[in-house]
């Protein structure tokens, strides 16, 4: 994994977890998913995160998913595995498994059912996970819309930089651009990946040197062009190119991000099945909205 904040821009796809019709894990789909990402020119696969419905999976399923990706990613994809869990015992188990499988990055959200009482408590948790896989770079995953955590990631990074030697990255999935900048400046040698796909132009303008997101399973080439236009000062052109991302966000906000995005990814890549409970299958109105998106996106995604 590259961790230096240089001109190299890493684009990672947050991958959906494939399920069969009975909602069992369909690990046999992973080779096709990996090949699809390579075809798109993606730098890395971020497995078992929010898009991957990690909190709807058993620990054994998460381990199997990591193993399948490690086996089938080939030599052109970096591999990141989200191992965060409410149980630090399970998180450490997944971290060790991911390290043994040869991943390039492990990531973890902080515990979110009962907010940790302090930044120090979050760093304690990250240190426990890191100690189970000390040779693998660690990524702190900040996504307050899902976790409800109020702790500033810049404060977490500042403290963790002194206590967690393997901390090398943050996945910043939030629209607070001032805090994004603060997090970038909190410690040297920590790459902050921008995770809010619908705000990518703003993230690039604020210095993002990498991005991890679900929509790059479909629109990776467009994302790279958006970045190029922003860096060239062509803001209006960048925003025009980026419009499909915002259109998707509007539909996802109405009908549910996880099931909408999964259905959309299925239309342009290998079929990973429907989302699991509690998100489940989309109803007729939501599917009609996705159908309309597909018609709009087809030229951009082809």
Q: Which residues are the active-site residues?
A: 141, 171
Of the candidates 63, 122, 115, the one whose C-alpha atom is nearest the C-alpha of residue 88 is 122
Of the candidates 238, 244, 259, the one whose C-alpha atom is nearest the C-alpha of residue 292 is 244
Give a three-class secondary structure readout of 47-106: ECCCCCCHHHCCHHHHHHHHHHHHHHCCCCCEEEEECCCCCHHHHHHHHHHHHHHCCCEE
d(CA 296, CA 302): 11
Backbone angles phi, psi at 6, to 5 degrees: -105, -165
Q: Under a CB-based contact definition with an 8 Å cutoff, are residues 261 and 52 in contact?
A: no
d(CA 291, CA 267): 9
Strand 105-108 relative to strand 78-82, pairing? parallel
């Amino acid at each position: 994994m590259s961790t230096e904040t240089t001109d190299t821009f890493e684009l990672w796809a947050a991958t959906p977890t494939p399920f069969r019709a009975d909602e069992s894990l369909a690990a046999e789909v992973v080779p096709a998913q990996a090949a699809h990402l390579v075809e798109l020119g993606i730098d890395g696969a971020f497995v078992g995160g929010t898009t991957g419905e990690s909190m709807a999976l058993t620990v054994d399923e998460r381990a199997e998913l990591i193993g399948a990706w490690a086996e089938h990613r080939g030599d052109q994809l970096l591999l990141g595995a989200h191992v965060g869990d409410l149980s630090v015992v399970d998180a450490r188990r997944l971290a060790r498994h991911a390290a043994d499988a040869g991943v390039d990055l492990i990531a973890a959200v902080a515990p979110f059912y009962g907010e940790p009482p302090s930044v120090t408590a979050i760093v304690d948790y990250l240190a426990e996970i890191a100690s189970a896989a000390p040779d693998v770079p660690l990524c702190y995953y900040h996504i307050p819309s899902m976790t409800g955590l109020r702790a500033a990631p810049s404060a977490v990074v500042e403290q963790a930089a002194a206590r967690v030697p393997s901390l090398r990255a943050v996945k910043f999935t939030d629209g607070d651009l001032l805090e994004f900048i603060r997090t970038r400046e909190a410690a040297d040698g920590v790459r902050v990946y921008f995770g809010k796909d619908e705000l990518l132009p703003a993230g690039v303008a604020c210095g993002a040197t990498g991005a991890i997101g679900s929509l790059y399973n479909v629109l990776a080439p467009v994302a790279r062009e958006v970045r190029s236009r922003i860096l060239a000062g062509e803001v209006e052109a960048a925003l025009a190119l980026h419009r499909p991302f915002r259109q998707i966000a509007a539909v996802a906000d109405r009908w549910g991000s996880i099931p909408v995005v999964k259905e959309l990814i299925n239309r342009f890549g290998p079929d990973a099945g429907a989302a699991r409970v509690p998100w489940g299958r989309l109803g007729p109105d939501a599917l009609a909205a996705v159908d309309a998106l597909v018609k709009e996106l087809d030229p951009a995604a082809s």
